Amino acid sequence: MNKWIIAIVIIIPTFIEVVDTSVVNVALDHIRGSLSAGVDEATWAITSYLVSNAIIIPLTGWLARVFGRKRYLIFSVTLFTVSSLFCGMAWSLSSLIFFRVLQGLGGGALQPISQTILLETFPPKEHGMATAVFGIGVIFAPILGPILGGWITDNWSWHWIFFINIPIGVLSVILIAAIIKDPPYLKRIPFSRIDYWGLILISLGLGCLQVILDKGQQDDWFSSSFILTLAVISALALLLFILVELFWAKDPVVHLRIFKNKSFASGSAVMFTNFFVLFGTIVIIPIYLQRLMGYNAFLSGLALAPGGMAMVFIMPVVGKLVTKISPKVILFTGLVVSAVSTMILTKVSLATDFQFIVFARVITGIGLGLMFIPLTNLTLSSVPKEEMGNATSLYNLIRNLGGSFGVAFVTTVLAQRAQYHQARYVEAANPYNPNFQQAVMKISSMPQVHSLSGVPPAAAAKAVIYQEALRQANLFSFVDTFFLCTILFIIIMPLLLFMRRPKYASMPVSAH
């Protein structure tokens, strides 16, 4: 079977699944109004999907060995498609959350299985191009999601952000059944040896962790007894899970000893940080544009799109270069370019135009495009083919957790730095400060202030100054956050020293 046909067959459902991780965000207000739910309640439509997704991803390699990879892949696409239908037909918020959990369980397996099949199907020297195809879907999809979701919601209804998955899912099941085959080396695990304790502990630990990351800032982190309880449960469950998998389970659901591989361990750390910054900036740039610059949701999403397009164009080029130039050199260049792009964003102001944001995002897209392919090759190249399913599951889990931690981090930093800068401005806005007195007098004399009926000019002037102080405080919180993202890129650069260049000649390929 032609390897590119196989690539297309497995990339299509994966792309749609990744889009679904972000497509609901922009439709949340419509969903809330339609189902008569509060803001806090409605966000569970997002959290429920992320929780089930996080739980199933690390189990994918193990589940493929229990049920057979092809059979499990067909089941996952079917579950994702059917649950999408019921999400679109949801009659209450509770029903939507339930079907979103099922949708996440079905969709979570698609990324690691697709990556495993790609790396097995393509010859080792073509792994760069295969990774480029996979990377375009994984990285561009979260950027496309908000734009697509906003357009569908505005022009049709929020129900169609789920219904649109159905024909694609049906086609995918037919193509997978006809084309994909299990590799001969994939050994099945008998049901009698299932690691039940590992299943329970990882589900509990990752489920609680994802809720903490998604709800922490909203609930003021550990000042909330709910978040604190989940943190204790998650920490204990994950600690026990590590002990069980390393010292007790005969057939562990996750083979943690793979982290002894220095290339895999250091590459996973770089990928975690990469998506930490990527998802963090994807979240805060629209917030900056909408909160301070007055953009609507569609325009703010449109500002992100050129960065995705830059990745689409650069990744096939990198896919060819990665076998001719040392992947470490390309990866280091990508880290430098990405650091430069976030440093550029520290120059934002209240007068920043659309073109500046687009330029910064294009630089970001080039940097990420330079990083994704060599990073994946360096991380997974030394993993034996029998361990590839386990490795890609862990790799995708780490990538997704990086995104979740990144979003939680930047939203928390934004809030805390805004409070810090606001406090500094308030200290300066006192009647004993001559600069403040002059500003009040100057604004009080403006005709616009005098036209406000029933409001003393001095009081109106102070209100104007306070509003501007809030805007400036928020602006500098964004600047601080972008600066921290730049520092993160610089910090992870030394990890490249632990990564080994792929030895393509020694990497076997199985037929599909």
pLDDT digits (tens, 9 = 90+) for 38-69: 656 677 777 788 778 888 888 887 788 788 88
> In the predicted model, what is the mean pLDDT of residues 94-120?
85
**Alpha carbon of 396 to those of 18, 135, 172, 200, 502: distances in Å?**
12, 12, 21, 20, 20
Kindly report which listed range (117-126, 158-167, 286-295) carries the lowest average pLDDT score: 117-126
176, 194, 212: which is the final residue of a domain?
Answer: 194
Question: Residue 145: inside a domain, yes or no?
Answer: yes
- Matching residue, tokens 């990752």: 206
**One domain, residues 460 and 511:** no
Question: Residue 224: inside a domain, yes or no?
Answer: no
> In the predicted model, what is the mean pLDDT of residues 1-25?
78
Question: Residue 206: inside a domain, yes or no?
Answer: no
> In the predicted model, what is the mean pLDDT of residues 12-20?
79
> In the predicted model, what is the mean pLDDT of residues 500-509?
50
**One domain, residues 341 and 439:** no
Q: Residue 126's pLDDT is what?
A: 73
169, 194, 219: which is the final residue of a domain?
Answer: 194
Q: What total of structural domains would you count in the chain?
A: 3
- Matching residue, tokens 């998506």: 275
Q: Which helix (H) or strand (E) holds 122?
A: none
Question: Residue 2: inside a domain, yes or no?
Answer: yes
**One domain, residues 153 and 277:** no
> In the predicted model, what is the mean pLDDT of residues 315-320?
81
**One domain, residues 491 and 463:** no
The one-letter code for the residue type at 269 is A
Kindly report which listed range (276-285, 367-376, 468-477) carries the lowest average pLDDT score: 276-285
Are residues 13 and 111 in contact, defined by beta-carbon separation less than 8 angstroms?
no
Reported pTM: 0.73
Is the Cα dihedral 211, 216, 222, 226 positive or negative?
negative
- Matching residue, tokens 């204990």: 236
**One domain, residues 262 and 377:** yes
**One domain, residues 470 and 481:** no
Q: Which of 305, 14, 261 is nearest to 143 (CA)?
A: 305
**One domain, residues 404 and 264:** yes
> In the predicted model, what is the mean pLDDT of residues 221-245?
89
**One domain, residues 177 and 45:** yes
pLDDT digits 0-9 by tens, 64-79: 878 888 888 899 999 9
Domain that holds residue 166: 1-194
Q: Which of 153, 188, 144, 88 is nearest to 389 (CA)?
A: 188
Q: How far apart are the C-alpha atoms of 85 and 80, rounded to whole Å?
A: 9
Question: Residue 357: inside a domain, yes or no?
Answer: yes
**One domain, residues 53 and 78:** yes
Residue 449 has pLDDT above 60, yes or no: no
145, 163, 194: which is the final residue of a domain?
Answer: 194
- Is 252 or 228 the better-scoring residue by pLDDT? 228
Q: What is the CATH number of the domain that holds 17?
A: 1.20.1250.20
Q: Residue 343's pLDDT is what?
A: 92
**One domain, residues 186 and 302:** no
pLDDT digits 0-9 by tens, 98-110: 998 899 888 888 8
**One domain, residues 338 and 413:** yes
Question: Residue 211: inside a domain, yes or no?
Answer: no
Question: Residue 226: inside a domain, yes or no?
Answer: no
Question: Residue 182: inside a domain, yes or no?
Answer: yes
**One domain, residues 443 and 494:** no
Q: Residue 142's pLDDT is what?
A: 67
Residue 233 has pLDDT above 90, yes or no: yes
Choose the most confident range, by mean pLDDT, from 171-175, 282-286, 423-427. Answer: 171-175
**Alpha carbon of 377 to those of 129, 259, 387: distances in Å?**
10, 16, 15
Q: What is the dihedral of CA 6, 9, 14, 15, to 10 degrees?
A: 110
Q: How far apart are the C-alpha atoms of 198 and 446, rounded to whole Å?
A: 69
pLDDT digits 0-9 by tens, 322-335: 778 888 888 889 88
